Homo-oligomer: A and B are copies of this chain.
Amino acid sequence: MRVSIFDVAKKSGLSVVTVSRVLNNSSSVREKNRQKVLDAMRELNYHPNAAARSLAKGKTRIIGLIVTTLQDSFLDEVVNEVTNTLEAHGYYLALSVSPGLENEEHYLIQEDRVDGLIILSPIKEEQYVVELTKRKIPFVLIDNQKIIPSVFNVIVNNFQGGYDATRHLIELGHTKIAHIRGPEYFLSSVEREKGYRQALREAGLQPFAIEQGAFAMDDGYLIGRKWMEADRLPTAVFACDDNMAVGLINALMQEGIRVPDHVSVVGYDDQYFASALHPHLTTVKQPTVQIGRTAVDLLMKQINGNAIRSKTVKLEPKLIVRNSTAAPRM
């Protein structure tokens, strides 16, 4: 038989109300009685029932985080930070992997299982926006595609990231700088490319080449091979993500073209494997900790009805210089 709050009340000789107060760290419980209650709980091996608490309070103390994939270093750090920040607020994280909201039947929102939701890099964000707004579930979008002014979101300055990466190559003395961009339906890809172009323009340079891939290592690899076969290699490349950067380096090294001696390469995202491989990849790191913290912050403010300055928070990425970039050979 399940141990309920009544059993604890009986055992401790106090009422369920007092037990409940102890459970909620309420003030106004005589210390002596609090101890009695705690003792009874321990002896009975009592654990409160989450469903009953949620029902009575109208809150679950759970925040959902919906991600589209688990294959990303980015994710790991964001999840950690979100977990920790939430904990400080007395909330728990329920992670859910879901490619999209096809049937508007996601269990987290279906029955109000969460007090709020964070949605990471959504593909079809509008669906979430519509559904969650309708259900009045507070939510925050991270790294979303379209900026909807009425919606809370945390985004990263991708233009700046592309700019900084390219600027770094220019400052090293490169002039033949190519770019491997991502799919155009990702806002981030487009912005990074804009940053690349802007940096070149300011330096009076032309793009040496611009190729396109879909964030797969093989895309970078094949582009590298193509360049080598055409015997038209840039001296520096800014790739829209680490996968393509590593793929490119892989192709070059295989043919004995050394990075960064012959070609410098900059990636984007700071994936684990990219920093672990030699040469350690120069890349642009997302401010993962800040992203996680900010998202929770925005969510808590919504839930607690606090005033909010701006619904959109834009964070800055950070160039991390490692060993895949160097001055060009003369």
Chain A contact residues, CB within 8 Å of chain B: 45, 47-55, 60, 62, 69-71, 73, 75-76, 79-80, 83, 92-97, 107, 110-113, 134-135, 216-218, 221, 243, 246-247, 250-251, 253-254, 256, 272-273, 276-278
Contact = CB atoms under 8 A, between A and B. Distances in A.
Contacts of A218: 276
Given A73-B71, A97-B95, A113-B50, A278 B256 contact: no
Given A70-B70, A218-B276, A83 B97 contact: yes
22 contacts: A47-B112, A49-B55, A50-B51, A50-B54, A50-B113, A51-B60, A51-B112, A62-B107, A69-B76, A70-B79, A71-B272, A92-B107, A93-B96, A94-B94, A94-B96, A95-B95, A95-B96, A218-B276, A221-B278, A253-B253, A253-B254, A254-B278
Contact of A111 (B47, B273, B278): B47
A215 to B, nearest CB: 11
B97 A80 contact: yes
Given A51-B51, A94-B95, A250-B277, A76 B80 contact: no
Identical chains in the assembly: 2
Nearest to A277: B250
Given A48-B111, A50-B112, A70-B70, A276 B95 contact: no
Given A50-B112, A134-B45, A254-B278, A76 B83 contact: no
A277 B54 contact: no
A87 to B, nearest CB: 9
A54 B94 CA distance: 17
A55 B247 CA distance: 52
Which of A50, A73, A93, A135 has most chain B Cβ within 10 Å?
A50
A107 B92 CA distance: 7
Given A45-B134, A253-B253, A52 B55 contact: yes
Contacts of A278: 221, 250-251, 254
